[in-house]
Amino acid sequence: MSNRVTIDVERVIAPIDRNLFGGFAEHLGRCIYGGIFEPDSPHADERGLRGDVVAAVRRLRMPVIRYPGGNFVSGYRWRDGVGPVDERPARMELAWHDLEPNRFGTNEFVGFCRALDSEPYLAVNAGDGDMREARDWLEYCNGTQNSALVELRRQHGFEAPHRVKYWGIGNEVDGPWQIGFKTAEEYARVYTEYAKVMKWTDPSIALLASAVSLWEPSWVERVQLLMEHATPLIDYLAIHWYVGNDAERGYRDDDFASYMAMSERIEDMLSATEGIIRAMSSALRLERDIPIAVDEWNVWYRVHEEGKLEEIYNLEDALVIAMHFNAFIRHARSVKMANLAQLVNVIAPILTRPDGMVLQTIFHPFELYSRTCGDVALDVHWTGDTFSTPEFSALRLLDASATLDAQARKLVVYLVNRSADRSSETTIELHRARFAGPVAVSLINGPDTKATNTFEAPDTVSLRRAALDASALDASSRALHLTLEPHSVTALVCDLV
Ligand code: AHR
């Protein structure tokens, strides 16, 4: 059998928000210290930022980066991290049981983001913090009047406001592991009061509510209560999503086919979240959409050691990352932000040592999608070969999505071949458009599904580029034929007429 992917370029799902390619950096393990910030490194610039890391992150074109946590934020005092570095206190850190030196804080983070052309997204402490502290932080960052907090920022060397647009209230407040865990009712109240004073402090900000991280049956009620109480103050509903090739975060332990069936879980989670938001919006007669921000997501299942979390990724993880981007594109109507957790060293696409760094397998799909994605998502129909797992039968072997840059008439088709050993004969058929000429092919693959990138062999899983010439097209220029390698991600960048 073979596979047929049919694309009608006028069947647009929705505009794609670039914030799908967001990141996240937490004070955890070696993400900040020894990752982003290492003043003693030969790679450090005058601010202590590692130049090699900045250059690698720049390749990912992240429009937004969340900070400073994560679980860390639920015990964080922002004032500890501003002002003269030598006067900043070191604090016991209870989320990851570490000592926080506070040598990197708000102003350093904003500087890091500006070096990357990214927007900072700050999460405030709704754990052991309070709303006064949250609104003070916002005033310190964004204030323009001659208040004491704005004066303080100026004394710290920042005359102009930082204009931080995105602010999250709390982190994983639904998790008993969180400092200051909250019941649904407690968080709905806390969110409302924090949000009220924060919007009064700066009405231009966008607020993210920490809706779901624990996918237990009570999540539905949490979202319902939150929306009942706080909808006028919610700009995004934030959810967290971690998956793995094990029975806890996937379907089975180390089973490739089951891992590739992860698409079903993603679809289910996104559709269910859309459903509850829609039900509540209808009940509340809401006249605007409340978008979803998946503001932490990644593969994470191997390393749980406190304070480290240095997961080593392989090729199958990279396929799963690509499948997530396909799902975000297919759900472009509702998903308006997503932040890969995290950026460097800690469950991250970039792994550093004092003398260098390696780009992990998951770096490549992130870079590929971020650099090629168009501005609208297209509704793709595909049929063909299937595979089965103990949980599912007849899942499509390919996982697909497509985007269009309407002005440039550029179509991008993303295909994940989920077979461990079969090539896939595939036809891409266009409706209401024709291929204008050669098609650029970007391909991520490696020798086997467990292949990793190491300091010794950094390019075992990497991206290759090729071109399909006219012989791949049929006479009408409406169909393209190609063979997809087993366990691969392919992006086809096509000019259209
Ligand atoms: O990203 C690692 C941790 O995962 C974050 O601190 C927390 O929010 C989540 O549980």
Residue 172 designated active-site: yes
Residue with tokens 């599904």: 449
User: Cα angle vertex 351, ends 340, 114, to 5°?
Assistant: 55
Burial-class residue 99 by CB neighbours within 10 Å (0-12, 13-18, 19+).
exposed
Q: Distance, CA 178 to ligand 1 centroid (Å)?
A: 10
The per-residue pLDDT for range 189-220, each reduced to its tens digit, is: 999 999 999 999 999 999 999 999 999 999 99
Phi and psi at residue 328, to the nearest 5°: -60, -40
Phi and psi at residue 47, to the nearest 5°: -95, -5
Q: Which of 139, 296, 316, 367 is catalytic?
A: 296
pLDDT of residue 470: 80
Q: Is the dihedral of CA 459, 34, 181, 168 positive or negative?
A: negative
Give the atom of ligand 1 at the shortest distance from the alpha carbon of 341. 1
User: Cα angle vertex 314, ends 271, 444, to 5°?
Assistant: 80
Are 317 and 330 a contacting pair, CB within 8 Å?
A: no
- Strands 206-212 vs 22-24: parallel, antiparallel or unpaired: unpaired
Identify the structural domains of the chain with CATH numbers, from first to last. Answer: 2-10+377-495 (2.60.40.1180), 17-373 (3.20.20.80)
Which residues are paired to 206 by β-bridges? 166
C-alpha of 216 from chain center:
22
Give the atom of ligand 1 at the shortest distance from the alpha carbon of 69. 6
Q: Whose CA is nearest to atom 9 of ligand 1?
A: 70
Residue 26 designated active-site: no
Q: Please list, in sequence order, all residues whose beta carbon lies within 8 angstroms of the beta carbon of residue 214, skipping any fewer than 6 positions away.
A: 172, 174, 175
CA–CA dist 256, 58 (Å, integer): 32
3-state secondary structure of 337: strand
Q: Distance, CA 34 to ligand 1 centroid (Å)?
A: 19
Residue 338's closest CA among 265, 242, 272? 242
C-alpha of 474 from chain center:
38
pLDDT of residue 469: 83
CA–CA dist 225, 244 (Å, integer): 30
Which amino acid is present at 55?
A: A
Ligand 1 near 70 CB (within 6 A): yes
Which amino acid is present at 250?
A: G
CA–CA dist 171, 426 (Å, integer): 43
User: Cα angle vertex 345, ends 339, 350, to 5°?
Assistant: 75
The per-residue pLDDT for range 388-413, each reduced to its tens digit, is: 999 999 999 999 999 999 999 999 99
Residue 386's closest CA among 357, 422, 427? 422
Q: Whose CA is nearest to atom 2 of ligand 1?
A: 70
* Confidence (pTM): 0.97
Listed as ranges, residues in the chain with pLDDT below 50 are: none
CA–CA dist 192, 412 (Å, integer): 41
- Torsion (CA) 311, 317, 321, 322 in degrees, nearest 10: 150
Ligand 1 near 296 CB (within 6 A): yes
Q: Is the dihedral of CA 467, 377, 369, 265 positive or negative?
A: negative
CA–CA dist 465, 31 (Å, integer): 31
pLDDT of residue 306: 64
Phi and psi at residue 21, to the nearest 5°: -105, 40
